Amino acid sequence: MNPQQPVSYNSAPGGGAKNTVIMILLVVLLVASLGFGAWAYSQIQSYKNDSDKKIAAALAANKTALTKEAQDNFDKTNTKPFVGSSTYGSVSFNYPKTWSAYVDTTSASEPINAYFHPDQVPGINGSTAYALRVELVSNDYSQIVQQFNGNLTQRTVTSKAYLPPKLNGVANVQPGLLFSGQINSRDQTQRGTLLVIKVRDKTLEISTQSNSYLNDFTNVILASLSFAP
């Protein structure tokens, strides 16, 4: 009797190749899954970023609207308007209701000669630092500006180009000069702020002669200043 031959358990032909193909497919599927996951995550992040931007833009627009509404309500409640003659450019601005005004419009060479001050307007021949002084004069713009050359050299005055917000983008309106410091040549102790700007063939000088009124001058008067070029 022949001894029993050992039984062979070799895999079927081609089994190794099949395993390799399966492994490759699994790797491809894994890579594809990772790629899809990364793409989906990026889409979610992009959507979130877009949503955040839209929300931020909406909040900013709402804040702007609320700010404008608050400013409008403030203007209606706490200020009153000044409107000059249409013949001379309809110079207009708002000023605090608690201020009184003395306005002279009788001179053709100086169509507006005005003084504004809290409560009562002091005598115009005194040395009062007025809360607001407004002059529309026939003097040439460059001539008025040149009067401050010495002060600028001595650094008792600073200057910068300035265009009132309401006139931004209006055709035929050029920025003026905003002077700060010793703006009153008759009283060197006064410190204030003066805007010199062309209005048609004339020059508008509008100033506060005391820094005590600078907040109202900047945020109420200059903020509302307008004229027809």
DSSP letters spanning 132-190: EEEEEESS-HHHHHHTTHHHHHHTSEEEEEE--GGGTT-TT---EEEEEE---TT-TT-
Q: What angle do CA 48, 50, 56 make, to 5 degrees?
A: 100
Q: How far apart are CA 52 and CA 191, in angstroms?
A: 48
Q: Residue 100, exposed/middle/buried by CB under 10 A (0-12, 13-18, 19+)?
A: middle
Q: Encoding tokens for residue 30?
A: 């894994």
Find out whether 203 and 141 touch, Cβ atoms under 8 Å: yes
pLDDT tens, the chain, 229 aa long:
455 555 444 545 556 677 777 778 787 777 777 877 777 777 777 776 776 676 767 667 666 655 666 655 655 689 999 999 999 999 999 999 999 999 999 998 999 999 999 999 998 887 889 999 999 999 999 999 999 999 999 999 999 999 999 999 999 999 999 999 999 877 778 899 999 999 999 999 999 999 999 999 999 999 999 999 9
Between the alpha carbon of residue 39 and those of residues 19, 28, 52, the distances in Å are: 30, 16, 20
CATH topology of domain 84-224: Protein Transport Mog1p; Chain A (3.40.1000)
Could you tell me how far CA 179 lies from the centroid of its own chain?
A: 20
| pLDDT score recorded for residue 9 | 47
Determine the Cα–Cα distance for residues 216 and 27; give it in Å rounded to an integer: 73
- Rounded to an integer, what distance in angstroms lies between the CA atom of residue 217 and that of residue 118? 13
Place of tokens 């492994």: 23
Single pTM value for the model: 0.68
34, HSE (Cβ side, Cα atoms, 13 Å)? 5
If phi over 0 gives left and psi between -120 and 50 gives alpha, with beta otherwise, what is residue 119? left
d(CA 116, CA 185): 19
Cα–Cα distance for residue pair 26/181, rounded to 1 Å:
80
- Rounded Cα distance between 22 and 26, Å, is 6
Give the separation between CA 64 and CA 68, rounded to whole angstroms.
6
Domain positions in the chain: 15-77, 84-224
